[in-house]
Structure 1
């Protein structure tokens, strides 16, 4: 394995130049509607130059300035690391070259920080590679999450004429003002999306309450009590997830049709907890096992019975876990589509996902479908961000120290 700095630096520089060029090309393509693509020769020259320079110059600002100057020079010679499929003007080309070269120089200074020109130790080589892979992973997974959401939001703000003229143009025309949100207004005015959101909300809340009602005592019994078959029950909690829901869908449809539960809110409220209780049991039993048994034993010695111990001691200590499970169950119920699509036919009781599916028609503009998807996504995102602190608390919250 070659661990020479004068080899590793240019190689990582070329690879990182392609990553940055691809990122810039994708961002500019989506934001302007023009066609951008990475330039092979420009990335090789600029990346190798910055990778080699980073071994001599340790200042990120100096490397950034040098990268900007080199990128600008390459763009003048027609070897720009990012090629433009449309004429955006001299100012846009200048800004792109300066931003690209500056970002590349600064990032290469971080990736090759402390790397020598000659032979590198294993630690120095691995550290440089890990920094490169970390940056690549951050960009890749950010793009994988952000691009679909960006396309969804931008499409929802388009007009039908703009979508027909250029379906791949995801830029936004701010001159339209409040008319950008026309699709959202029409969804609530003409497609009853307010009713769909309310239906999904209270079904999700009921699902959370029913799930906790059964999963809390069940998980506590598996984690704390001793009885015959405890180990087998603990291992078999998630067996239901071994059977795909699409396999169970037809029997559920037949049974609900025969019993008159299909196309009713009661039927949905009955079937949703079946899909959420197993995972809630699994999550809560692990948390209950992590709580110190000494706290509950102290409560029993103070005269509390088992139910009082659970209510006054275990549940308060388990608040982070219960909030995490509630959030997870709420998200499952809010986003559930297959059962709602099969069991609901009356538009008056559609859930939000079922209502969005009704927009998937040639008679409904595509921007309305994307607006519905945004409406379904944003509340869950806000809820998750608001309760994120409960998701990240350790399992030792409230434990005894001594």
Structure 2
């Protein structure tokens, strides 16, 4: 009897939190992606969940603890209609809600069709549920701004002004209308030149940072010299100084040297700010490489440079790619130094160029969103392309060597 009560209240609490999170998320996006306006009524959530728990619990008992998929589909369909009673909803929206209920029921079946429910402690199951829903909820909070940015970039100024809370993707647009904002940004706002400048500065920053940080990190990790431990522990001390404190002295120095208002100034500042963190990341990885591998090569007559090129660097490819991606992201998205050092639009990077357009009150919002999407896409593509290289194991690399 106690076991059955646990099951019933577990379903009830499970349902309440799930539907409440759906309600919060739905209201947060104005219910315009999947659901109609005001689908969720908070005061009825507890009643919905109570009836839901009774229905599911009763069916489970009747069918001798074996809930088939057909019954899961039937109860999900019935509850979808019950939940949306007296609401205007189309077939597409109903299919979304039905899928949510089916997935919810299948998840419950995983717990409650086991041989012995007592093996699944109520507290443990409930904490797992909270963990899963928390991940979903906070993932949504992170992903939603990017979705809003993308959807806004696809619409016209008139549509955004008429219905600013509409977050649906306009699939009925033609191809030319669908990407009109991107075409306008590229052709009217000199975006390609901004992108070229950002690309040049970012790749130069990555190259210079790796060129200096790899030998520096190796020296700190492997060589023995006076002050080695102090250097190792003080690598990141530069980050104790806020960037805004460095801007004014650098502005004065670059103005006197004639470096201001050129990409060369950024190619000096960006590596100076990224080399410390690159050193810190690489030296930790170099310390993890078995010294016996390098020692064997030295005994066989290989020079120190040869050891670095033939053993250390091949084993450090995941770390080098991680550092490269991190440095590239910093240089690609940096705004403060670009804003202070660049005045000529010919040398603007993407963040600096977008700020200039944002400062213009007549620039439509969808153009700014389109530019923001085009800033984000290259970094995402690089991450997905190199993801399998970023998760490299030291053991696997040693075996291959």
TM superposition score category, shorter chain reference: 0.7 to 0.9
Higher mean C-alpha deviation, range 295-304 or range 311-320: 311-320
Q: What whole-Å deviation, never above 9, does each CA across 1:346-396 have from its counterpart, x for those lacking one?
A: 100111111111121212111110000001001110111000012111243
Mapped pair 1:131 → 2:133: no
Sort the Cα spacing of 1:128 and 1:8 in 2 relative to 1 into closer, same or farther, 3 A. Answer: same
Sort the Cα spacing of 1:111 and 1:50 in 2 relative to 1 into closer, same or farther, 3 A. Answer: farther
Q: What whole-Å deviation, never above 9, does each CA across 1:42-65 have from its counterpart, x for those lacking one?
A: 432333344463575553733453
2:288 corresponds in structure 1 to 290
2:144 corresponds in structure 1 to 147
**Rounded Cα–Cα distance in structure 2 between residues aligned with 1:158 and 1:201:** 28
> Pairwise CA RMSD of aligned residues?
2.7
Sort the Cα spacing of 1:111 and 1:200 in 2 relative to 1 into closer, same or farther, 3 A. Answer: farther
Whether the 8 Å CA contact 2:235–2:280 is kept in 1: the answer is yes
Whether the 8 Å CA contact 1:111–1:131 is kept in 2: the answer is no
Aligned residue pairs total 388
Whether the 8 Å CA contact 2:259–2:265 is kept in 1: the answer is yes
2:77 corresponds in structure 1 to 68
Q: What whole-Å deviation, never above 9, does each CA across 1:304-361 have from its counterpart, x for those lacking one?
A: 2211211122111211211111111111111111111111111001111111111212
**Rounded Cα–Cα distance in structure 1 between residues aligned with 2:246 and 2:159:** 43
**Rounded Cα–Cα distance in structure 1 between residues aligned with 2:73 and 2:249:** 63
1:343 corresponds in structure 2 to 341
SS in 2 for 1:35: coil
**Rounded Cα–Cα distance in structure 2 between residues aligned with 1:116 and 1:42:** 33
**Rounded Cα–Cα distance in structure 2 between residues aligned with 1:20 and 1:211:** 46
**Rounded Cα–Cα distance in structure 1 between residues aligned with 2:248 and 2:218:** 33
Q: CA deviation at 1:207?
A: 0.5
Per the normalisation by structure 1, the TM-score is 0.87
Whether the 8 Å CA contact 1:292–1:400 is kept in 2: the answer is no
1:169 corresponds in structure 2 to 166
What are structure 2's unaligned runs of at least 5 residues?
none
Per the normalisation by structure 2, the TM-score is 0.87
**Rounded Cα–Cα distance in structure 2 between residues aligned with 1:247 and 1:129:** 49
**Comparing both chains, which one has the higher relative contact order based on Cα–Cα distances under 8 Å and sequence gaps of 6 or more?**
2
**Rounded Cα–Cα distance in structure 2 between residues aligned with 1:352 and 1:41:** 48
1:16 corresponds in structure 2 to 18
Q: What whole-Å deviation, never above 9, does each CA across 1:104-140 have from its counterpart, x for those lacking one?
A: 32333346664977xx57x622431233123213321
What are structure 1's unaligned runs of at least 5 residues?
79-83
Q: What whole-Å deviation, never above 9, does each CA across 1:184-220 have from its counterpart, x for those lacking one?
A: 1111111111111111111111101100111001100
SS in 2 for 1:296: helix
SS in 2 for 1:387: helix
Higher mean C-alpha deviation, range 200-209 or range 4-13: 4-13
1:222 corresponds in structure 2 to 220
Q: What whole-Å deviation, never above 9, does each CA across 1:228-263 have from its counterpart, x for those lacking one?
A: 111111111111122222232222222222322211
